[in-house]
Amino acid sequence: MEKVIESLFSPLNREEFISAYRENRPITAHHDIDKFKELSSLKYLSSLSSLLESWPSKVNAYSPGIPDEVNSTQVDPVQAQKLFDSGSGLYFDDPNNTEEILAKTLEGLRQDLGLSNLTYSRSLIYAIPKGKGTAPHFDQNINFVLQISGTKKWWVAPNTSVENPMTRYTIGTNPDPELDSYLDEDLPTTFPSESTEYELKPGSVLFLPRGTWHKTEATEDALSLNFTFSAPTWIDMLQTALRSRLTQSPFWRGTANFTTDLELHTEAVSMFDTLLDQLKQDVPSWQARDILRAIEMEPE
Ligand SMILES: [Fe+2]
């Protein structure tokens, strides 16, 4: 069966895609929307009115102010149409939960990328009115966009403030303390000037590498389908392995007693030191291959 990644980015093959992916290079491809008829004819994607009529749950709408997911509210589909008409962008979470083809495409993409079974994969639909867009930000996830209807401009710029961010950040908001702790340079207050502009039309596809700055503006009422992947970092891999190893020990499972007790604090230090000594003896025999096999093993 044709790989999803090759269907999206043809004539690029998977190998060529992976070399761009390794270099954090955005990629676009422009096709006739008919190539994706199976997706674009879904009731969720054939038009905004069809989407709102068939949508089974709440819709997210950008609130006045910064058009960003940190500044949005959940409304019912009727209210969503009114908000869209008055200029609010809308986004719809996890349509893959009710559309099998979206779930399959999402999973196919994850496998084509060789991402961990622990990856948090999501699909989203964005409906953005003409002249509106999203505020400048970067995401911690890997993002694929398929433009379904209307046109949308994207401005994309490399992130010189931080490599491999683990949380998203929108200009004009406060970074979370952990992100702030590993910045290479101050976060900009305006969108970086050295950006590339892409215009997505129905059938256009964009790969947006993790952490890349971007902002958008719909030049017509626009509907797009996104697939995002929050894959585990090496930190997550080690944390998972460490946790499953340590949970086997009743001592590690013990309550961390007296860590804040002035008199009994030394007992806490001594217990923790004993446990750390045991761990130090255990770690030299750890092998990446064994850990990965244990983590990535398909459930029975
Ligand atoms: Fe984004």
Q: Among 205, 232, 259, give the residue marking a domain's end.
A: 232
CA of 182 from ligand 1 middle (Å) equals 21
| CA 115, 119, 125, 128 torsion-angle sign | negative
Q: Do residues 175 and 183 lie in contact, with contact meaning Cβ atoms separated by under 8 Å?
A: yes
Whether residues 157 and 289 share a domain: the answer is no
CA of 211 from ligand 1 middle (Å) equals 9
Number of domain units in the chain: 2
Whether residues 113 and 28 share a domain: the answer is yes
pLDDT computed for residue 298 by the predictor? 61
Whether residues 227 and 246 share a domain: the answer is no
Q: Do residues 199 and 174 lie in contact, with contact meaning Cβ atoms separated by under 8 Å?
A: no
Q: Among 232, 248, 271, give the residue marking a domain's end.
A: 232
Alpha helix positions (H), 190-259: 234-246
- The pTM assigned to this predicted structure is 0.93
pLDDT tens digits, 126-137:
999 999 999 999
- Residue 11 identity (one-letter amino acid): P
pLDDT tens digits, 43-101:
999 999 999 999 999 999 999 888 888 889 999 999 999 999 999 999 999 999 999 99
pLDDT tens digits, 260-294:
999 999 999 999 999 999 999 999 999 999 999 99
Whether residues 127 and 177 share a domain: the answer is yes
Whether residues 281 and 134 share a domain: the answer is no
Whether residues 133 and 282 share a domain: the answer is no
pLDDT computed for residue 300 by the predictor? 43
CA of 138 from ligand 1 middle (Å) equals 6
CA of 54 from ligand 1 middle (Å) equals 25
Whether residues 105 and 182 share a domain: the answer is yes
Closest by Cα among 9, 16, 20 to 209: 20
pLDDT above 90 for 233:
yes
Buried b / exposed e over 220-256, threshold 16 CB at 10 Å, is ebbbbbbbbbbbbeeeebeebbeeebeeeeeeeeeee
Whether residues 206 and 240 share a domain: the answer is no
CA 54 to CA 11: how far, in whole Å? 35
Whether residues 36 and 177 share a domain: the answer is yes
- Least confident range from 65-79, 183-197, 227-241, 277-291: namely 65-79
CA of 1 from ligand 1 middle (Å) equals 30
pLDDT computed for residue 1 by the predictor? 72
CATH at 227: 2.60.120.650
Whether residues 97 and 245 share a domain: the answer is no
CA of 117 from ligand 1 middle (Å) equals 23
Average pLDDT, the chain: 96
Whether residues 141 and 289 share a domain: the answer is no
CA of 214 from ligand 1 middle (Å) equals 7
Q: Which residue has the higher pLDDT, 67 or 162?
A: 162
Whether residues 42 and 172 share a domain: the answer is yes
Q: What is the mean pLDDT of residues 16-40?
A: 97
Q: What is the mean pLDDT of residues 190-218?
A: 97
Domain range enclosing 196: 4-232
pLDDT computed for residue 71 by the predictor? 87
Q: What is the mean pLDDT of residues 182-203?
A: 97
pLDDT above 70 for 299:
no
CA of 208 from ligand 1 middle (Å) equals 9
Q: Among 197, 232, 267, give the residue marking a domain's end.
A: 232
Closest by Cα among 227, 286, 233 to 115: 233
